[in-house]
Structure 1
Amino acid sequence: MLKIINRIILFIISFTLILMLIPDKYTISAAPADTQTAVNALVYGDCNNDGNIDALDFALLKQELMNKGDKYNKIMDLNQDNEVDAIDYSIMKQYLLGKVSKLPYNPTQPTTKWVGTWTAAQQLTEPANMPPSPGLANNTLRQIVHVSIGGNQLRLKFSNQYGSTPVNINSVHLALSTGGSSIQSGTDKALTFEGKETVTIPAGKTVISDVVNFSLHNLENIAVTIYFGSVPSALTGHPGSRTTSYIQTGNGVNKLSMPSAQPTEHWYIISGIDVLTDNSFQGIVALGDSITDGRGSTTNANNRWADNLSRRLRENSATSNISVLNQGIGGNAVFSGGLGPTALSRFQRDVLEQSGVRFLIVFEGVNDIGASSSVSVATNLINAYKEFITKAHSQNILVYGATITPFGGSQYDSSIHEQARETVNNWIRTSGQFDAVIDLDGAVKNPNNPTRLLSIYDSGDHLHLSPAGYARIAEAIDINLFTR
C-alpha cells in the first residue's frame, strides 16, 4: 500500500513540474496544427485519443514507462523504432516545449562536422621573411587565401605558436576578394572570439573564432583582414604563401581597397579555415616540403599541385565533397634539420588535429636525402613513414605514399643521394605499408634520363617543378583513391 501511495505522490509532483515547464504559448488543449486530426484516428503522441497532444498525453506516456505492460502501443512510439522507451519520453518533452515541431519524429538527422577548407603549416618566421615596413604592430594586414570547399558557416584559426609574447588583435574581418587588396562590397563581416571582436593570443597558443555565417563557394578567394595591436618580435607564420598580402598603416580593417598598402608575399598568424558540413565531407592533408608548398608555381595563380588536385576533385561528382589541405613547408625535413618543425614533430598538429581528415598524402623526404652523407638516410625515412602510417591509421586516416621526384642536376645531385632516393621509392612502391602508392617520380621523370625531371616539368633548378609539372602531378593522382 505504501508503494502505491509513493507512486501516486511521485506522479502528481512530476505532472505539476511538466505543467510549469510548458511555455505560455502552449495550452493544455491546443496542439500544433500539423498534428490535429479527428478523434479516433491514429496520431502519434495523442495517447488518450482526444485529438490533442498535450500534458495529459505526456503523463500517460510517463505512466506507460513506469508500468510497462506486454502490449506495444504504437501511438506512443514517437521515433518509430518499435519500442516505447525513454527516447520517446524525451521526444514528447521536446515537442511540448516547442523544440520538436512534428510527430512522429526521427531524431537521427544528418550529422554535421567541421572540415578544413584551407590551411597553412605554421613555423617561426625567419628574419628575411619578417613583415616589411610599416610592420604589423598597430597596423592592418589583409591576407588572401584560396579555399577548397565551400559552406555557409565558418570558423578561423589564428596561431601564436612560436611567439615569445602575446599577439593582440583589435579586429578581424572576412570578405570575398575581388583581386589585389580589394574586397567585394557587402560581403565584409567582423569575426568574434567568445562574443568579442578583440582577442589576445598567448605565446605558444592558437585561438579559434566564433562561428560566422558566411556564404563561401568552392575554390573561392577570400580576404582575411587583421587590425593588430602589439605583436611579438618573433612571429608565427607561413613564409611560402605564393600569394600577395597587404600591410596598411593604422586601422583599415573594413576598407574596400588598400591602394597605398605595402605588399608582401608571406602569411602571418592565420593558420586555418574550417567549414561546417554534413558527414559526407572529408579532407586530404598533403604533407610535404617546398614542392608541396609550391616553389616554382605562379604567385597569386594558385597553381600548386594541391590546388590543381582540389580543382580536379571539384569537377568530379564523386569527390566534390573532398577538401585539400596543403601542409607543405619550404625546406622542410622529415626527421632532422631543414626549415620549420620537422614532419615528425608537426605530424600531430598538421595532420591528426586538422578537422575532418580522412586521407593523407606523404610526399616528403628529398631535403633529408639532400642534407645527408650516407645512404642510411633511406632507413631513417622509411622508419618515419612507418610511424606516420601507424599514427594515421589509429585515427582511421588512409595514408598514400608518393614517390620522391628526380633531382638530377640540382644541388642535391650525387650518387649517394640518388641511391637513397631509389631505395626509398622502391620501398614505397613494394612494401605494401601504404594504403596506396602515388608514383609521382614516374609521372614527371625524363624517360631517357630517369634521374632528372622532364624539361617541361622543371622549374629551372632541376629540383622544383614548373606550373606544368604541378599540373602533371595533380593529373597523375587517381582521384578514385578519395572515394574510399
Structure 2
Amino acid sequence: MNWTRKTTISVAAALVVLVVAVVLYVRRDSSPGGTSADPGPATSSQPSTGPSTAETPWTGTWAVAVQNGGRSFDQQTVRQILRASIGGDTVRVKLSNEFGSDPLTVSAVYLAQHLQANTVDTATNAQVTFNGTDSVTIPAGQTAVSDAVQFTLPAGGDVAVSAYVPARIGSVTQHSFANRHNYVAAGNQSAKASLSGAQTFDNYAFLAGVDVQNAQSEGAVVTLGASITDGFDSTFSENRRWPDQLSRRLLTANRTVGVLNAGISGNQLTKDGAGQSALNRLDRDALQQTGVKWVIFSDAAINDLGDDNPPSGDELIQALQQLIQRTHDAGLKFYCATLTPYEGTDYWNEQGEAGRDAVNAFIKADGSGCDAVIDLDTATHDPNDPRRYNARFNSGDWLHPNDAGMEAIAAAVDLNLFQ
C-alpha cells in the first residue's frame, strides 16, 4: 500500500475543508447583525416544529353530587335537562355508576339544545361517543367520560342529555333532588324532538357532569353543602339556587368561571345519611371536579346540629379543619361560609345554637385556615333577632331561604375571590 500517497490526499482534503470553513465564517460575520461574538440564528433546511400548542384544558360547566338509591330503567330513553354555567364549543359528558351494584349500559347518547318540557331542537343534535362507539358499559363503582363532542354550548344555556338504557338496570346512581322535571319514555327515542309517552321524574339519574373546552376559562368553583346549596325551597324549575345566581353574577361581570353545585339535601358534615358525609365525599364531589380551583363549603353542618345525637361545636370544627387541610393539600383554595340561622325549626335547641355559634366564631377567627370567609349568617339573619331568618328571606320553614334569600347568599360572595 502507498502510505505516502494516502497521506498527501488526506492533507489536501483537510486544507479544502479549512478553506470552506473560513469562507462560511466570514460570510456569517459580514451579514447584518452578525458578529464573531454573536453569530446570529442558525439556519436549517428542515422545517421547524416549534413548541407544541397545548390542548385547551377542560372545565366543568355543570355537575351534581352523586348518591345511591336511584330508580330503575329498562329499554327506556332518559332525557335530562341542565343549565350550563360557562359555555364552550367542545363538550364531554360524565356518566356515573358509582353506587351501582351491576354494570350500567347506555347507548344512543345525544346532546341538544333544550326548548321546553321534553322537547329539544333536533337541528342541534350531536351524538356522544365513548372510545369511538355509541354504547358504553360502566362497571359498578366507576364513572365513564365521553369522547369530545363538537357542540356549541352557550354560557347560561339549557342543554338536554338523552340516553337509551337498552337492558334493565336496578337502582342507579342518582342525585336525589333535581329541582326540575326530567323525562323518561319507552324505547329508543334519544334523537327525537319530543318523547312519545314521556313521564317525568325529579332527580338526576346516572348523569354526573358536563365539561367544556373554553380558552377563556378561569377555572371552576365547587359549592359543597346541603339543602340550601342544593336549592331546596327555591322556585321549581327556574334555576334560582344560590349557585345558579352566583353563576349569573359572574356572567354579568364577564367572568368565565364554572360553577359546580355539589349540594345534597339532608347532607351532613360528619355522618353518612342523605348521601355520604362531606368528609367522605370531598375528594369525589369537590377536589376531583374538572378544572376546580376553589371550594366553598356551606350549610352541611346545620344538619349535624339537628341530629338526634349532635356533635359538639369542637367536633364540627375538627371536621371542618380536615376539609380545609385536604383541600389545601390538593393545591386548592377553601372558602368557609358561616352557618345561617335556624331557630324556629322543630329541631332547634340551645345546644345546637351553641354549636352554630362555635363554628361561626372559628370561621371568623384568625388562624382558621379558611382562605376567605363568606358571611351567610349576616347576609340572611334578622338584625333584631340574629338567631332567626330575616322575614324577607324565610321560605316559611325557618331553615331554607326563599328566592330572595338565595339571591342574598349569592350576593355575599365576593367575585374577587375567583382570581
Structure 2 match to 1:466: 402
Structure 1 match to 2:66: 122
- Work out whether residues 168 and 230 of structure 1, in 8 Å CA contact, stay in contact via their aligned partners in 2: yes
d(CA) in 2 for partners of 1:159, 1:245:
17
Structure 2 match to 1:392: 327
| Change in 2 beyond 3 A, CA 1:471/1:259 | farther
Please list, as runs of the form range in 1=range in 2, the aligned pairs for 1:193-208 lying within 5 A after superposition: 193-208=130-145
1:313 counterpart letter in structure 2: L
d(CA) in 2 for partners of 1:253, 1:356:
29
% same residue? 37
The count of aligned residue pairs is 384
Structure 2 match to 1:475: 411
How far residue 322 of structure 1 moved from its aligned partner, in angstroms, is 1.0
Q: Does 1:211 align with 2:148?
A: yes
Please list, as runs of the form range in 1=range in 2, the aligned pairs for 1:38-117 lying within 5 A after superposition: 73-76=39-42, 95=47, 100=49, 107=51, 109=53, 112-117=56-61
Structure 2 match to 1:254: 191
1:292 to 229, 239, 242: 229
How far residue 112 of structure 1 moved from its aligned partner, in angstroms, is 2.2
d(CA) in 2 for partners of 1:239, 1:407:
23
Structure 1 match to 2:78: 141
d(CA) in 2 for partners of 1:177, 1:217:
12
2:382 counterpart letter in structure 1: N
1:460 counterpart letter in structure 2: G
2:264 counterpart letter in structure 1: I
Q: Does 1:322 align with 2:257?
A: yes
Please list, as runs of the form range in 1=range in 2, the aligned pairs for 1:301-312 lying within 5 A after superposition: 301-312=238-249
3-state SS, counterpart of residue 74 of structure 2: coil
Q: Which has the higher contact order (CA 8 A, sep 6+)?
A: 2
Q: In terms of mean alpha carbon deviation, does 336-345 or 145-154 score higher?
A: 336-345
2:393 to 457, 461, 465: 457
d(CA) in 1 for partners of 2:56, 2:216:
5
- Work out whether residues 287 and 327 of structure 1, in 8 Å CA contact, stay in contact via their aligned partners in 2: yes
- Work out whether residues 372 and 417 of structure 1, in 8 Å CA contact, stay in contact via their aligned partners in 2: no
Structure 1 match to 2:4: none
d(CA) in 2 for partners of 1:475, 1:461:
22
3-state SS, counterpart of residue 213 of structure 2: strand
d(CA) in 2 for partners of 1:373, 1:161:
29
Q: Does 1:224 align with 2:190?
A: no
2:377 counterpart letter in structure 1: D
| Change in 2 beyond 3 A, CA 1:225/1:481 | same
Any gaps of 5 or more consecutive residues in structure 2? Answer: 1-27, 29-35
- Work out whether residues 140 and 253 of structure 1, in 8 Å CA contact, stay in contact via their aligned partners in 2: yes
- Work out whether residues 113 and 279 of structure 1, in 8 Å CA contact, stay in contact via their aligned partners in 2: no
How far residue 395 of structure 1 moved from its aligned partner, in angstroms, is 2.4
| Change in 2 beyond 3 A, CA 1:73/1:160 | farther
1:389 counterpart letter in structure 2: I
TM-score, with structure 2 as normaliser = 0.87
Structure 2 match to 1:402: 337
Q: Please give the root-mean-square deviation of Cα atoms over the aligned residues, in Å.
A: 2.0
d(CA) in 1 for partners of 2:325, 2:281:
15
Offset from partner CA, 1:158-201 (integer Å, 9 cap, x none): 00011111111122110010121111131001110000001101
d(CA) in 2 for partners of 1:280, 1:164:
37
3-state SS, counterpart of residue 442 of structure 1: helix
Offset from partner CA, 1:215-260 (integer Å, 9 cap, x none): 1110100000011122432210101111210111111111101253
d(CA) in 2 for partners of 1:275, 1:475:
26
